[in-house]
Chain A
Amino acid sequence: MSESAYRPRDDEASPPLDHPPYRSTSLRHPVRPLVPLPHTISEITGPGPAISAVTPADADLTTNAAVGGEAIGERILVTGRVLDETGEPVPDTLIEIWQANAAGRYVHERDQHPAPLDPNFRGTGRCLTEADGSYRFLTIRPGAYPWGNHPNAWRPAHIHLSLFGPALATRLVTQMYFPDDPLHELDPILGAVPRAHWDRLIATYDHDITEHEWALGFRFEIVLRGPEATPFESRGAGSPA
């Protein structure tokens, strides 16, 4: 068995754990070096393939609050593919998203930003990727919102995403941003990622996705860590039960 079944995290593109401009990192980042972990059966497996309890309605955030009305805001389609680093699609994997409403307010008890809540918008959605790795959400464009990191700090509009992929090693939690937002420059969370890699986190406007008299289209491709060259084999010891 090789040391690593999955390619290492891309240190060039990855944000550091300690990033002083983002104040919450200061007491929450480990100061000791991470200990290398060989990829055993514990790391090449993961919950991803076992999770599938999703319905098509879950991917429509404009109506999935299920109270009969439609969310207020600029209707958008967010779509793309989930691939691994070798370009292979990652099928049947769960994507969970959450976001603020059009006014920049989350449905969350800890969000005290005095902007209106929308009874027709819950701000959460999920779907499974198709066989070609594609996914598609219908939602509304989230608003920017203030936060306490520094005076007059505002988070650029973003959507949070959580993905499992096939293994523990492919787990990813990230955020998708919108193009041409002047707040990008001022945001210490996006700013923790080296600028050369911002395009991996900023969706592109795509008029081919935009639907006539319905919704604006954004494309966001997601790339998970990929396998090393040697394909995996079943690694359970002993004979199959």
Chain B
Amino acid sequence: MSAHSQTPSQTIGPFFHDGLMGLGGDLAPEGAAGRRVRIEGRVLDGAAEPVDDAMVEVWQADGQGRYRHPFDGRSSGVERSFVGFGRMASGSDGTYRLDTVLPGTVPGRGGSIQAPHLNVQVFARGLLVHLSTRIYFEGEQANDGDEVLGTVPPERRDTLVARADGEAGGVACYRFDVVLQGENETVFFDL
């Protein structure tokens, strides 16, 4: 073991709520450019019971596909008020909800284009290491050419795609459940 071996992960436990700043599901400030979307869903365990003490973190590009980060060469164009990060605690029925703008497409490998997606990390009591997944959006044309979606077995691909669920007050609504275990288990990534 080297002197600089990784610090192992441990569970977030059930008591994180006050320890983490900025719990809340509003990712897009007033006036952020892009199509406004709401994603709502539940975190479910292997018995299809709601997980009421999960934390869901989301990291996304802005409406034009730019991350607010020094490694994104287009980050200088990101609006000052847009961070693209949010974290939500699941409620008593396992529900989480976030309001944001649909991210733009972002570059993929070898000149490819990645379809609009949210990068998601899930933490909970009982998860000794957090889980990583992505939320794609039903009906987006770019989904067909997305390399990451393409690497997922076709029969499991739907677990990564938020289902369109109507519109409310000019906001496109989507459903996305995070299923930790079982028949419709969400695809989780080794990243």
List residues of A whose CB falls within 8 A of some B CB.
Answer: 1, 8-10, 13-17, 19, 22-32, 34-47, 49-51, 53, 83-87, 96-98, 100, 106-108, 110-111, 122-124, 126, 160, 162, 167-169, 171-175, 189-190, 192-193, 196-197, 200-201, 221-226, 232, 234-238, 240-241
Residues of A within 8 A of B20 (CB): 96, 98, 162
| B89-105 at interface with A (beta carbon < 8 Å) | none
Q: A98 contacts B6, CB within 8 Å? A: no
A36 CA / B148 CA spacing, docked (Å):
9
Q: Given contacts A31-B181, A37-B132, A85-B5, are A42 and B110 in contact (CB under 8 A)?
A: no
Asked if B83 is at the interface of the complex by the 8 Å CB criterion, the answer is yes
Whether the pair B5, A200 counts as a contact (CB closer than 8 A) is yes
Q: Name the residue on A nearest B156 (C-beta).
A: A32
Contact A174 B7 (CB under 8 A): yes
The answer to whether A50 touches B8, judged by C-beta atoms less than 8 angstroms apart, is no
User: Residue on B with the closest CB to A124?
Assistant: B19
Q: Which residues of A contact B190 (CB under 8 A)?
A: 8-9, 34-37
Q: Are the C-beta atoms of B72 and A162 separated by less than 8 Å?
A: no
Among A9, A26, A236, A237, the one with the most B-chain Cβ atoms within 10 Å of its Cβ is: A236
Is the contact region of chain A dominated by helix, strand, or loop, or is it mixed? loop
With contact pairs A173-B12, A173-B123 given, residues A45 and B71 touching in the complex (Cβ less than 8 Å): yes
Please give the number of chain B residues whose Cβ is less than 8 angstroms from any Cβ of chain A in the complex. Answer: 80
Nearest A residue (CB) for B106: A41
Given A15-B8, A29-B127, is A47 in contact with B14 using a C-beta cutoff of 8 Å?
no
Residue contact B85 to A50, C-beta cutoff 8 Å: yes
**In the docked arrangement, what's the CA distance between A169 and B119, Å?**
11
CA distance A28 to B178 in the complex (A): 11
10 A–B contacts from the bound complex (CB under 8 Å): A1-B110, A15-B128, A25-B127, A27-B45, A28-B45, A32-B187, A37-B189, A45-B71, A87-B3, A160-B15
Residue of B nearest to A110 (CB): B14
Closest chain A residue to B84 by CB distance? A47
Asked if B108 lies at the interface with its beta carbon under 8 angstroms from chain A, I say: yes
Given contacts A35-B151, A41-B106, contact A30 B5 (CB under 8 A): no
For the complex of A and B, list the 6 residue pairs with the smallest distance between their C-beta atoms, beginning with the closest: A98-B19, A241-B77, A24-B126, A236-B73, A234-B73, A47-B85
- Confirm or deny: B168 has a beta carbon within 8 angstroms of a beta carbon on chain A: no
Q: What 0/1 pattern do residues 122 to 140 of B give for CB contact below 8 A with A?
A: 0111111111101000000
If A17-B127, A35-B152, A98-B18 touch, whether A44 touches B71 (CB-CB below 8 Å) is yes
Given contacts A27-B47, A189-B128, contact A40 B7 (CB under 8 A): no
Most buried by A among B10, B75, B117, B185: B10
**In the complex, A117→B104 CA distance in Å?**
47
Q: How far is the CA of A200 from the CA of B41 in the complex (A)?
A: 36
Contacts of A175 in B (CB 8 A): 10-11, 13
Name the A residues within 8 Å of B74 (CB-CB).
236-238, 240-241
A15 touches B13 (CB 8 A): no
**Bound Cα distance A221, B6 (Å):** 10
Q: Does B68 contact A41, Cβ atoms closer than 8 Å?
A: no
Nearest CB of B to A128, in Å? 12
Q: How far is the CA of A238 from the CA of B73 in the complex (A)?
A: 8
On whether the beta carbons of B130 and A171 are closer than 8 Å, the reply is yes
CB of A184, distance to nearest CB on chain B (Å): 13
* Bound-state Cα–Cα, A170 to B175, Å: 28
In the complex, are the beta carbons of B15 and A15 less than 8 A apart? no
- The answer for the CA separation of A118 and B20 in the assembled complex, in Å, is 20
Identity of the chain B residue whose Cβ is nearest the Cβ of A241 in the assembled complex: B77
Instruction: State A26–B51 Cα separation when bound (angstroms).
Output: 13
Chain B residues 1 to 43 lying within 8 A of chain A, measured CB to CB, are 1-21
